[in-house]
Amino acid sequence: MYYQFNGFTQRLTGSIAQKAYYPQGLQAATPVESAPLIFATPTKSSLGHGTHAVPEYMGKNKVRDLQKLFQKPDGIPVHLKGGYTDRLLYRITMALTIGGAIYSLVALILAAQPQKK
pLDDT tens-digit map of 10-43: 888 887 776 666 666 666 666 778 777 776 556 6
Evaluate whether 47 touches 35 at the Cβ level (below 8 Å). no
Evaluate whether 104 touches 112 at the Cβ level (below 8 Å). no
b/e map of 92-107 (b: 16 or more CB within 10 Å)?
eeeeeeeeeeeeeeee
Quote the DSSP letter at residue 61. Answer: -
pLDDT tens-digit map of 33-85: 877 777 655 666 555 666 666 566 667 888 899 889 889 888 888 888 888 99
